Amino acid sequence: MKEIIQKVRNLSVGFKSQKGHEISILKNITTNIKKGETVGIVGESGSGKSTLALAMMGYVKQGLFTMEGECIFNSSNLLAMGNRDLEKIRGRKIAMIPQNAGQSLTPNLKIGYQIDEALKLHTNLSKNERDKKISELLNKVRLPSPETIALRYPHELSGGQQQRVAVGMALAGNPDLLLLDEPTTGLDVTTQAHVLELLNFIAKDTGTSMVYVSHDLGAIAQVSDRIIVMYSGEIVLEGPARDILKQPIHPYTYGLLKSIPKLSLAGLPDSMPGSQPQPGAKTKGCSFYDRCNLAEDKCKKNSPNLEYVSELKTSVRCFNYKKIIEKKSEKQSNIKRNEKNIKINEILNLTDVSISYAKQKLLDQILNKITDTNPTVKDINININKGETLALVGESGSGKSTILKSIAGLLRTKEGSIKFDQGRVLSNDLKKRNSSDLRAIQLIFQNPDESLNPNHTVEEILAQPLKLYFGLSGEELKKNIIELLEKVRLGKFYMTRYPRQLSGGEKQRVAVARAFAAKPDIILCDEVTSALDVSVQAAVLNLLQKLKEDFGTTYVFVSHDLAVVRAISDRVAVLYQGRLCEIGPSKNVYKFPSHPYTEVLLGAVLEPDPDIKPKLVAEDIVEDKPPEKGCCFQGRCPRILGDKCKNETPPWQIGDNGNAIKCHINIKDLEKKQNGN
Amino acid sequence: MLFLIIKRILLGLITLFIVSLITFVGTEILPGDACTTYLEREAYGAALEACYKRLGLDIPAYERYLSWAYNVIQGDFGYSLSGQMPINEVLGPRIKNSMVLASAAIIIGIPLALVLGIVTALWRDKLPDITISTITIFAMTIPEFISATLLILIVAIWLQWLPGIVIVPTDVTFFELLPNIILPVISIAMIMTAHMARMVRSSVIQVMATDYVQMAILKGVPYWKMVFKHVLPNALLPAINVVALTIAWLLGGVVVTEVVFNYPGLGRLVIESISNRDLPTVQALAIILASIYVSINLIADLMTLMLNPRLKSLQIRK
Amino acid sequence: MEINKISEEKQKNILLKVLEVLKTMASRPSGFIGLCILVFHILLAFLSPYLAPYDYKAIDPTLMLQAPSSEYWFGTDSLGRDVFTRTIMGGRTALTITFFGSLIALLWGGLLGIFCGLVGGKIDDVVMRIVDAFLSIPWILAMLLIVSLLGTSIEVLIPALGFFYGKGIVRVARAATHDVIAKDFIISARARGHSNMSIIWNEIIPNVRDAILVEGAMRWSWMLLGFSSLSFLGFGVSPPTPDWGLMISNARGLMSFAYWAVIAPIVGLSSLIIGINLTADAFAKALGIDRSTKAPV
């Protein structure tokens, strides 16, 4: 047995509601963190995982209080310590790497100062030694030219760099325990993989214990030795990482793993019904009762205890875990998508579309000069067939949402044309489009909190398109609204609710219903599942697929999540810096990545499987702008040829699998090289 | 950076130009003019004509505006109607006196507001906060003429500690003035301090709730070091502009206070010139007060520009 | 018919919301006190003519500067008028004028602000420049000038106050509109092809309404302050109408021996202003708007 460095004993943390009730967010948490191990704490938003991590530093957020229990570090209870004593532990013995480093670095202080501050507090080094140590730390987290980085302000760094600085700062005090609160959430896929790799390296290099908190089982799988699964403030499953991921014996974890779309499996993931109960919701029995398909009467009445299963070295909070062990022979198979509806019948066509955000300067307007030779989005040629789902995929800044907005008419195209319905050109001015074209193309947004007017009831929200396009009123309007709600599996009683009274998944369903209210031909989906929890995401994806099959709608689906795209799309277009890199049928793009960028992207995806490690082929560099000439990916391409890539725009090549790539390297050679790796 | 500064200055000048237009047009379209007021019942026939001619009111309005504006740019506001003397001479000592009053209030008010704001924010919802916040609400809402009247009643009449009414010649020296201005300064500073303290409080509270302050705590930074290094610079930067607006807004309050204390400053001149329908003086006052407002805001803008690291780095990069 | 039902329901909703907001406001001690004071003053304004024991303008030289007594509760002033009568009636004119003035300020400031926030670009720039210019002229100078040239009738005071206190609302409404129009639900409505009017009416106004109302409530207290200052300087209500500002100004000279004539109107005016302020503060908090970071412009 390794030495235990932190013990959490029977910890409950809660808050006082406005009515004076005590509502717990963490319920009776007991666990140990051992020396040198990495523990992953996974759970959906609101499961209490961040509160637990902060409690391990003796920190309870304002408004919360410790109801009972203790966090014991070095044989003293952190939660009962005074601030003076805590100051000596925080940053020195236990350090935190926060979720959003951009907001966690003080904006008015230089990077160097902020690291120096930690060194001054926690080491006895002299000024010169500290300066050396700062460079050393920045070097260790693999930041280029540490001396210049130290002189920068936080806002001058990219998201990935900020996160690295936060890691470096946490290492300054040489802590025994590192707490990581969603350290890679919000970063681009490739950056995320690089930061994770760095964390793994540091764990090995320094032997520090780590507690890694995340909602993303993919990230957890890559770093953890042991996993704790939290649900509604309780530990529901705890055990060795491999066992938990390969054989989850709690119905929640089982369902959660099944609801994650995976690169290796085509088709849609299984969805879990319902959503996590709100804190304070009265539950006598098991907190997962409402969503569990194994639930029995006793689950409703009694709350199960955390039970240790010795043969699996796992603790589980479920009466029926044996039933899941029996289920293990069942092979995971995703829901097959029905692809019959797709006809080769073009409905939307983008020809040579380019879009520019740059405002023309007054002088240039007068001289009638076109200054922007390097628009944000350039040379987009895409055709979309009726009834298909085309996905636009890329990292932030790839212009995928920009293209979507210009299809909707919200952004003017600078050049090129968007043709709809047998080659009719759509005006690039929203005001000039006619009502039936506007009706035919509908949008669903990423964040339902922002896309639904907080001052309208669900009824009013859904009535808007119905009144506008079909002139409905009275009983008929009401009937239609109820029908729409049924389509997205929401009851009639939702009509009088306001968006703030709905859960994230329910809000997104209302947004879907609003889009379908127009009886559209095309729906543009802008990252529609990114703001949702994994288990809810699967349900929304399944809903979208079902509606599409019922109504023959065409989707243009924008996402940064390659696994989600894999699950829902028929064809994929890969974008980098507003330029197309590759386009083709999803199954082929995912099977044989041919464009170097596609290779990089797919290599960086984190699968919830400890055996599938990400492949890091390219440097993690952030580019502000696309290059003026040559290939758009030249800055990061691992297979760059030289001047040719820098000066000449690469040609389109079509491979045997039907996917087209824009690259100077022969497509056959690329495939050979990639298989060789 | 330089471009930004020039832009701010230009915007300020444009504002002043619009102000001059507004005041000129305003005094022009309102009924009655300088001559009818000045001559009162004799405003007819030859006397009126002569008066128009003497004041140059017989030429078209836009020409008068241009020549007036031209003179103003050169620092000449023309002649006042009532006293028949150059406005510059009337204004000089008045500006000096008002400046003494306002700067004393600012010198006392700003540090006090900072301390009160920070204390209330750091001890939020505890006794110091509740007491100070309650007092600030009173100080903030009670009009200057009431607080001034009460101060005179209590300090000057009942306690007889200080003179209640300022009875000094316009061109008094600073040290003769000093005991006379204590009460007016208190009554001006009170409302200003209360406004600023409230603002500082909420700004500090906002910053205390940020991720980076939480991070500083989790880094083990001692409390007061965290307050001074991580909280205050970020909380006070946005406060600069609001403080400037508050100061500028108090120009109105200064007028009332000066009347209550019979203080020979710009404020009383405002009342006097308006009562006398001395429009040239009113125009001059409008321009001067607006310039003060614009320059206070300009200074605040420039300070923010200098101190904000986001803009500082702009300078390094370009 | 069904539509009527919906709008009826909507009205019921609005009524419920108003009640809910009032409840939240009263749940804080400061909000409760503020509401009580405000309600008291409003009732007083309506009822004081019936409650007043004496005629507010009856001059009696034999009763000059009487100290408070059982007959004259607050004493008499330099013209022998009953201070109690004049005090309870002293808020009527101020309340009426500033209430309607605030409404006007709210209306033109709110609408212009929303308009500027929507159109943006050059028109917005020009309008905001002019608003800035007006802001930089001290309100008291402008108000004094207008009143001295046009007189102190209600027809002059209400629009003039409404105009000068609306400038600040323009900025608030504009900023609120800016925040809202970037939201996805507006983009969604635009993409659906709703007309501009329908977007303004259905999507924008409901979401900026709260911010503008709170600002209007705040303006009311400042306008009251400004108006009383005008009265105090002799440019507001004309005598013999009872008004606190005017009463303070008149009694000030004699306060060394007749302090009661000053204290009574001071208490009246101060309590009203504090009452409105507390109410406006509680109102802002109930609607979830923090306005203490704003300057009183």
Name the band, by pLDDT with cuts 50, 70 and 90, for residue B15: confident
Instruction: State residue B100's pLDDT score.
Output: 81
Answer whether C206 sits within 8 Å of A409, measured CB to CB. Answer: no
Write out chain A residues lying below 8 Å of B125, CB-based: none
| Closest Cα in chain A, distance from residue C164 (Å) | 31
C262 inside 8 A of chain B by CB: yes
Write out chain C residues lying below 8 Å of B16, CB-based: 133, 136
Answer whether C193 sits within 8 Å of A454, measured CB to CB. Answer: no
CA pair distance A196, A211, nearest whole angstrom: 13
Instruction: State residue C254's pLDDT score.
Output: 77
Percent of chain B having pLDDT more than 70? Answer: 78
Q: From its phi and psi, is residue A630 left (phi > 0), alpha (psi between -120 and 50) or beta?
A: left
| Closest Cα in chain C, distance from residue A359 (Å) | 12
Nearest by Cα to C147 from C131, C135, C164: C164
Contact C60, C208 (CB under 8 A): no
Look up tokens 């003519």; give the residue.
Answer: C49
| Closest Cα in chain B, distance from residue A424 (Å) | 47
Paired sense of beta strands A424-426 and A652-654, if any: unpaired
Instruction: State residue A557's pLDDT score.
Output: 94
Instruction: Give per-residue pLDDT as tens, C126-175.
Output: 888 888 777 777 777 778 878 877 777 788 888 888 888 888 888 888 88
Q: Which residue has the higher pLDDT, C14 or C226?
A: C226
Average pLDDT score, chain B: 78
Domain ranges within chain A, ordered by starting residue: 30-53+81-261+299-329, 346-519, 591-676
CA pair distance B264, A217, nearest whole angstrom: 75
Write out chain A residues lying below 8 Å of B211, CB-based: 98, 100, 103-104
Residue B144 phi/psi, 5-degree rounding, is: -60, -35
Architecture of domain A30-53+81-261+299-329: 3-Layer(aba) Sandwich (3.40)
C229 inside 8 A of chain B by CB: yes
Q: Which ranges of A23-158 does DSSP label H, i.e. alpha helix?
A: 49-55, 83-89, 101-104, 111-122, 127-140, 146-150
How many C-beta neighbours within 10 Å does residue B311 have? 13
Task: Indicate the residue of A83, A92, A98 with minimum beta-carbon distance to B215.
Answer: A98
| Closest Cα in chain B, distance from residue C222 (Å) | 8
Write out chain A residues lying below 8 Å of B215, CB-based: 96, 98, 104-106
Instruction: State residue B316's pLDDT score.
Output: 37
DSSP state of C227: H
Answer whether C192 sits within 8 Å of A473, measured CB to CB. Answer: no
Instruction: Give per-residue pLDDT as tens, B217-276.
Output: 998 899 999 999 999 988 888 788 777 877 777 777 788 888 888 888 888 888 888 877
**Superfamily name with CATH number, domain C81-293:** MetI-like (1.10.3720.10)
Q: Which residue has the higher pLDDT, B56 or C201?
A: C201
Segment of A332-346, B150-164, B250-264, C268-282 carrying the highest mean pLDDT: C268-282
Domain ranges within chain C, ordered by starting residue: 81-293
Non-local (6+) Cβ contacts of A540 within 8 A are A505, A508, A509, A512, A528, A529, A532
Q: Which residue of C has its CA nearest to B296?
A: C136
Contact A254, A320 (CB under 8 A): no
Instruction: State residue C296's pLDDT score.
Output: 45
Answer whether B249 sits within 8 Å of C132, measured CB to CB. Answer: no
CA pair distance B171, B181, nearest whole angstrom: 15
Mutate: best of A407, A439, A453, partner C, most C CBs <10 A: A453
Q: Is the pLDDT of residue B59 over 70?
A: no
Q: Is the pLDDT of residue B155 over 50?
A: yes
CA pair distance B119, B128, nearest whole angstrom: 7
CA pair distance C284, C6, nearest whole angstrom: 28
Domains and CATH numbers, chain B: 31-76 (no CATH), 87-317 (1.10.3720.10)
Mutate: best of B214, B218, B236, B310, partner A, most A CBs <10 A: B218
CA pair distance B248, B193, nearest whole angstrom: 13
Residues of A with CB under 8 A from a CB of C: 408-410, 430, 433, 435, 438-439, 441-443, 445-447, 450-456, 459, 464-465, 468, 473-475, 477-478, 514, 518
What averages of pLDDT result for each successive group of 10 residues across chain A (677 residues)?
Answer: 84 83 86 91 88 90 87 88 88 89 88 92 90 90 85 86 90 90 85 88 89 90 91 90 87 88 81 80 78 82 83 84 70 60 75 74 51 75 89 87 89 85 81 87 89 89 91 88 90 86 88 93 91 87 90 91 89 90 88 85 85 78 76 84 84 83 85 70
The count of CB pairs under 8 A between chains B and C is 154
Residues of A with CB under 8 A from a CB of B: 54, 57, 59, 61-62, 83, 86-92, 95-96, 98, 100, 103-109, 117-118, 121-122, 152-153, 155-156, 169, 173
* Cα separations in angstroms, C49 against A644, B21, C46, C80, C239: 93, 46, 7, 19, 17
Class of residue C241 by CB neighbours under 10 A (exposed 0-12, middle 13-18, buried 19+): middle
Q: Which residue of B has its CA nearest to C218?
A: B141
Write out chain B residues lying below 8 Å of A89, CB-based: 220
C3 inside 8 A of chain A by CB: yes
Task: Indicate the residue of B211, B217, B312 with minimum beta-carbon distance to A103.
Answer: B211
Write out chain B residues lying below 8 Å of C232, CB-based: 143, 145, 256
Instruction: State residue C295's pLDDT score.
Output: 46
Instruction: State residue B54's pLDDT score.
Output: 63
C29 inside 8 A of chain B by CB: no
C69 inside 8 A of chain A by CB: no
CA pair distance C263, B152, nearest whole angstrom: 12
Q: Return the structure tokens found at A300.
A: 């409703």
Instruction: State residue A38's pLDDT score.
Output: 92
| Closest Cα in chain A, distance from residue C149 (Å) | 44
Write out chain B residues lying below 8 Å of A109, CB-based: 229-230
Q: Which residue has the higher pLDDT, A614 or C11?
A: A614
Contact A577, A186 (CB under 8 A): no
Fold of the domain spanning A346-519: Rossmann fold (3.40.50)
Task: Indicate the residue of A87, A104, A106 with minimum beta-carbon distance to B220.
Answer: A87
Task: Indicate the residue of C144, C269, C293 with minimum beta-carbon distance to B202.
Answer: C293
Neighbours of chain B (3+ CB pairs under 8 A): A, C
Write out chain A residues lying below 8 Å of C189, CB-based: 464
Instruction: State residue B213's pLDDT score.
Output: 92
Answer whether A454 sits within 8 Å of C207, measured CB to CB. Answer: yes
Lowest-pLDDT range, A69-78, A476-485, C185-194, C246-255? C246-255
Task: Indicate the residue of A103, A106, A152 with minimum beta-carbon distance to B216.
Answer: A106
Answer whether C296 sits within 8 Å of B195, measured CB to CB. Answer: yes
Residues of B with CB under 8 A from a CB of A: 209-223, 229-230, 233-234, 237, 309-310, 312-313
Answer whether A464 sits within 8 Å of C191, measured CB to CB. Answer: no
| Closest Cα in chain A, distance from residue B224 (Å) | 12
| Closest Cα in chain C, distance from residue A450 (Å) | 5
Task: Indicate the residue of B212, B219, B234 with minimum beta-carbon distance to A91.
Answer: B219
Identify the bridge partners of residue A55 per DSSP, sorted by sequence position: none
Write out chain C residues lying below 8 Å of A433, CB-based: 193
Instruction: State residue A209's pLDDT score.
Output: 92
Answer whether B234 sits within 8 Å of A86, measured CB to CB. Answer: no
DSSP state of A185: T
| Closest Cα in chain C, distance from residue A429 (Å) | 11
Write out chain C residues lying below 8 Å of A435, CB-based: 193
Q: Return the structure tokens found at A518.
A: 């127009």
The number of C-alpha atoms within 13 Å of B42 and in the hemisphere containing its C-beta is: 8
Non-local (6+) Cβ contacts of A595 within 8 A are A574, A581, A582, A633, A661, A662, A663, A670
CA pair distance A645, A633, nearest whole angstrom: 9
- CA A49 centroid distance within chain: 17
Answer whether A430 sits within 8 Å of C183, measured CB to CB. Answer: no
| Closest Cα in chain C, distance from residue A489 (Å) | 22
Contact A465, A510 (CB under 8 A): no
Q: Is the pLDDT of residue C3 over 50?
A: no
Q: Is the pLDDT of residue C291 over 60?
A: no
CA pair distance A602, A591, nearest whole angstrom: 10
Write out chain C residues lying below 8 Å of A477, CB-based: 2
